[in-house]
Chains A and B, each alone.
Chain A
Amino acid sequence: MSAIAKADNLVIGGLRKVGQVTLFLVSVLAQCGPALARPRLVVHQVYNAGARSLIIIMLSGLFVGMVLALTGIDLLARFGSEDVLGVAAALGLLKELGPVVTALLFAGRAGTSLTSEIGLMRATDQLTAMEMMAVDPMRYVAAPRFIGGIIAMPLLVAIFDIVGLFGAQLVGVQMMNVNAGTFWSQTQGAVHLDDVTEGIIKSLAFGFVCTLIAVYEGYNAAPTAEGVGLATTRTVVASAVLTLIVDYFLTAAFL
């Protein structure tokens, strides 16, 4: 096969995938109303995607905040600006690291869990059984998980940010002797509502992307052990790459 033909196939394959995901999204969105009418299903998925990711999110947030403070103080000390460590850590976490790192962790923990769960439901005929009972799996399985993921992501980002800031304070104030009053007052003065809004919008966008990919891949996984494994891998890779791409465009839009 010539290089042109290969590139052609790649483009057509890519376009086909985009079309399939879009159609899937339309089907899921059409079932979001009925799914929201049964909040028990959605709350259960918020618990699955959110509460069960809490430990990994808090632990990562703590260490990201601590590393941010270590590297930040090293950099700021060169300019004699250690006082703004709190601002640097808070803005870094709120606008960038919080949403992005949480999304990457979400894809690895909750995303893989969603894909493998739905993929196994496909492989063990559970989705077909629902179809046979005249129950639309889009309504019962896909839509609640999609909504649950989108709700869980901003909550996880908020927790990541808070724990991260605590980690930065731990290193900056407790270990590196930055004045606590300066740390917090500078942070309070320099962080605006727009910065928080940017983080919230990013987290919602990443929640949308990561959950859509996870649910789509699970729903369309080949009904074999290998198929579910491959779908899970695709979820992590596609979620991570798309998160970073979307992050670039959102960051540019907020400048």
Chain B
Amino acid sequence: MTTPQALPDAHGATAPSGRRPDAPAPGPATDDVIVDVRNAHYGIPTRQIFKGLDIKVRKGRITAIMGPSGTGKTTLLRLITGQISPSQGNVVVWGHDLSTLDRSGIYALRKRMGMLFQNGALLTDLDVYENVAFPLREHTDLPEELIRTLVLTKLHAVGLRGAAYLMPSELSGGMARRVALARAIVMDPEVLIYDEPFAGLDPISMGVILRLIRQMNEGLGLTSIVVSHDVQELATIAHDSYLMYDGKVVASGTPKELASSGLEVVKQFMTGSDDGPVAFHYPAPDYKQELLKGDE
């Protein structure tokens, strides 16, 4: 466990080293691991979601978190971003145990992250331009001219400079996600987190998002965490993969290593088989008996 440190509140430009001037000093060296989830347990009143989860995200790599629906992939992102705390175990980000940080400390870390939500989560009372400018206006005192340049640059990067003055309600799902991506990178984060970036997208939009994730990671030198269950898409971009099942990581490695795994649950997930360890049917009483009970 690391010692809590005072974290500054102000926000500045990215330092040449890649770390912001106001960013907390890194904790004890953990080689190039940026996010380290150690033996995390977490539950809600109705069930235990994590039963000892271990995940490491390394700098500069695209890490895919995969797993069947309901395994807690989005909950894991909430753990990593400090929205919730594990009941047992630790979540260490840039050497800081999140449980030891106060609200301002968590906020200081979040300024170094960008997150793309499944539905975009654009602010509906602001247009596209203002949505992308929002973090800049909140955290910097940059002149309007510079804000305009930054916003248009980011919108151009996602191909939506021409949509700058549309309202979120006028965007398609894929466009909304690209705007959200522009907003997520406008503060030049070091880590980008994607929550189900491909869900509900047509093949063209999916291809665009895939390309953008790869470009952001390589071009901007980011570290990416992608939560999804789209195996084929992730296999084309991910450097490291984790497969979650029943509250734990059941397999990890490169997408190729996962594809050649002998574990039943991994095979079922990678091939999309409808029955296996992940049962098609939700636990229920005997089918015949339940139907006959109705006749009685």
**Using a CB–CB distance below 8 Å, which chain A residues touch chain B?**
120-121, 124-126, 128-136, 140
Q: A134 touching B121 by the CB < 8 A rule?
A: no
The distance from the CB of A144 to the nearest CB of chain B, in whole angstroms, is 12
Q: A interface, by DSSP: helix, strand, loop or mixed?
A: helix
- Per the bound structure, the CA–CA distance linking A131 and B83 in Å amounts to 9
A220 to B183, alpha carbons, bound, how many Å?
26
**Interfacial chain B residues near A124, Cβ < 8 Å:** 119, 121, 124
With A121-B123, A129-B122 known, 6 other A-B pairs at CB within 8 A are: A120-B124, A121-B124, A124-B119, A129-B117, A133-B110, A134-B138
Q: Which residue of A lies closest to B104 (CB)?
A: A134
Neighbouring B residues of A120 by C-beta, 8 Å: 124
The verdict on A125 contacting B138 (CB below 8 Å), with A134-B107, A134-B111 known, is: no
Contacts of A129 in B (CB 8 A): 115, 117, 121-123, 180
In chain B between 63 and 83, which residues have their CB closer than 8 angstroms to a CB of chain A? 81, 83
Residues of A within 8 A of B183 (CB): 133
Out of B113, B121, B122, B138, which one reaches A135, CB within 8 Å? B138
A134 touches B119 (CB 8 A): no
- Top 3 A-B pairs, shortest CB-CB distance: A129-B121, A125-B121, A134-B107
| Minimum distance in angstroms from B228 CB to a CB of chain A | 17
Contact of B108 among A131, A133, A134, A136 (CB under 8 A): A134
Contact B119 A125 (CB under 8 A): yes
Q: Complex Cα distance A130/B121, Å? A: 9
A140 contacts which chain B residues (CB < 8 A)? 138
Q: Which residues of chain A are near B138, meaning CB under 8 Å?
A: 133-135, 140
A132 and B139 in contact, given A124-B121, A124-B124 (Cβ under 8 angstroms) = no
CB neighbours (8 Å) of A130 from chain B are 123
C-alpha gap A89/B111 in the complex (Å):
58
Say whether, besides A131-B83, A133-B110, A134-B107, A125 and B117 are in contact (CB < 8 Å).
Answer: yes
Q: Which residues of A contact B122 (CB under 8 A)?
A: 126, 129
| Cβ contacts under 8 Å, B134 to chain A | 133, 135
Residues 118-160 of B contacting A (Cβ, < 8 Å): 118-119, 121-124, 134-135, 138-139
